[in-house]
């Protein structure tokens, strides 16, 4: 079922889709920067929807949601507010929350600011919104600013200007982007990502490349103390091939966020190829299934 929800900013609408039994525990999927909700692959959504009322949505300036940034610039904090807006618009008091990349940061902001709205949280492909140093297994500490940065091949791709050579050329550019983000531990399935991006373009109605989230105001995102005191059961997914927030970023999150535990998905990078769907769904469902249902 598809439904549009009005955001807190007048004139902005958010596209949402629900799948699974209406009376099952709700689970909200939050995608990364400039990524449509269709970036959550169908097989993964279906696996989660066997046990949950799964909701995915398009951020502002993605997919079928409003594209307002040029006329109405917003903050990353406004994207975090949209998480609660989606729950409110669908009449959901509390939900399980799963966030990837920027979505993992929005999930952390929701954990800190609205813990009463969450049953559990799952964070992946992201970094801690915390100044707490990372403690290595040997007991030595690493300041947050000294944790590993984004892989050079990713930065190089992000620095390239995007030129319009038609829809198919844009699909191939996006596939090349996924190839770099996926890491080098699993075989790359170009056909899977090609089909994914064609569905996203069809869903969106155009193949323009959005840049709003990279230009949005990032001030006020840190939640060090609130995350340290978190009591919402939180799962952190460790991806050994992650090129954007490489290890030990997941280990750092698990230390900085209270009531968090770590599960590694073998071979996973900063992408969701078919090889990770089953183990990732199993990890998420084991986590959500171990949490008492919302009262």
Q: What are the pLDDT tens digits along the chain (295 aa)? A: 999 999 888 889 999 999 999 999 999 999 999 999 999 999 999 999 999 999 999 999 999 999 999 999 999 999 999 999 999 999 999 999 999 999 999 999 999 999 999 999 999 999 999 999 999 999 999 999 999 999 999 999 999 988 899 999 999 999 999 999 999 999 999 999 999 999 999 999 999 999 999 999 999 999 999 999 999 999 999 999 999 999 999 999 999 999 999 999 999 999 999 999 999 999 999 999 998 775 5
d(CA 126, CA 122): 11
For 200-229, the three-class secondary structure string (H helix, E strand, C coil) is HHHHHCCCCCCCHHHHCECCCCCCHHHHHC
- Cα–Cα–Cα angle for 51, 57, 63, rounded to 5 degrees: 140
CATH of region 2-289: 3.40.50.1820
Strand 26-30: give its sheet, edge to edge: 2-6, 13-19, 53-57, 26-30, 95-100, 118-124, 234-238, 260-264
Is residue 65 within 8 Å of residue 58, measured between CB atoms? yes
Q: Which residues contact 6 (CB under 8 A, 6 or more apart)?
A: 12, 13, 14, 85, 89
**Extents of the domains making up the chain:** 2-289
CB atoms within 10 A of CB 247: 15
């Amino acid at each position: 079922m598809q439904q549009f929800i009005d955001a807190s900013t007048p004139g902005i609408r958010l596209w949402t889709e629900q799948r699974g039994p209406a009376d099952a525990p709700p689970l909200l999927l939050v995608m990364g920067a400039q990524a449509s909700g269709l970036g959550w692959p169908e097989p993964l959504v279906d696996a989660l929807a066997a046990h949950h009322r799964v909701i995915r949505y398009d951020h502002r300036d993605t997919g079928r949601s409003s594209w307002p940034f040029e006329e109405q610039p917003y903050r990353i904090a406004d994207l975090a507010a949209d998480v609660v807006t989606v729950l409110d618009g669908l009449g959901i008091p509390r939900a399980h929350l799963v966030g990837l990349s920027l979505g993992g940061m929005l999930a952390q902001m929701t954990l800190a600011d609205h813990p009463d709205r969450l049953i559990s949280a799952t964070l992946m492909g992201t970094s801690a919104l915390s100044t707490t140093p990372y403690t290595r297994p040997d007991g030595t500490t690493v300041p947050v600013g000294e944790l590993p940065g984004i892989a050079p091949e990713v930065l190089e791709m992000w620095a390239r200007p995007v030129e319009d050579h038609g829809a198919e050329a844009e699909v191939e550019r996006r596939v090349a982007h996924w190839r770099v983000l996926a890491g080098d531990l699993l075989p790359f399935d170009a056909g899977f990502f090609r089909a994914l991006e064609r569905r996203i373009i069809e869903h969106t109605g155009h193949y323009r490349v959005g840049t709003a989230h990279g230009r949005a105001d990032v001030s006020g995102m840190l939640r060090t103390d609130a995350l340290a005191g978190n009591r919402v059961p939180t799962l952190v997914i460790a991806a050994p091939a992650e090129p954007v927030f490489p290890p030990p970023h997941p280990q750092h999150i698990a230390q900085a966020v209270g009531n968090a535990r770590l599960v590694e998905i073998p071979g996973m990078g900063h992408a969701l190829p078919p090889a990770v769907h089953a183990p990732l769904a199993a990890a998420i469902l084991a986590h959500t299934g171990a949490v008492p249902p919302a009262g």
